[in-house]
């Protein structure tokens, strides 16, 4: 399923805006998301996650966003690096 979903998302996003909400950090990494908003729950409400004093909002080249994705992704930084090497982003 994942191998079908990622190529489909990449193809569709060339022609239209897609909004995806997921607990799976692999999806935005492998689908090459242009905007990621990492959220966390505090006192039963959702808030933008802050890392190193900055909101984790933006593309994967933002340090706060990259760290938020790494924290969620199975395998942490090593998994992120392997996906970067495999997919080139």
Give the start-to-end residue ranges of the domains of the chain: 2-87
* pLDDT per residue rounded down to tens, the chain (89 residues): 667 888 888 899 899 999 988 888 778 877 888 899 999 999 999 999 999 899 999 998 899 998 888 887 765 666 667 666 765 54
Q: Look up the pTM and report it.
A: 0.74
Q: What's residue 22's pLDDT?
A: 84
Q: How far apart are CA 43 and CA 46, in angstroms?
A: 8
């Amino acid at each position: 399923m994942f191998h079908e979903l990622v190529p489909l998302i990449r193809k569709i996003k060339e022609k239209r805006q897609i909004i995806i909400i997921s607990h799976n950090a692999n999806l935005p990494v492998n689908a090459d998301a242009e905007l990621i908003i990492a959220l966390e729950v505090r006192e039963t409400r959702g808030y933008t996650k802050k890392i190193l004093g900055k909101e984790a909002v933006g593309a994967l080249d933002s340090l706060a966003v990259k760290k938020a994705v790494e924290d969620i992704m199975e395998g942490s930084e090593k998994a992120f690096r392997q996906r970067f090497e495999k997919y080139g982003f």
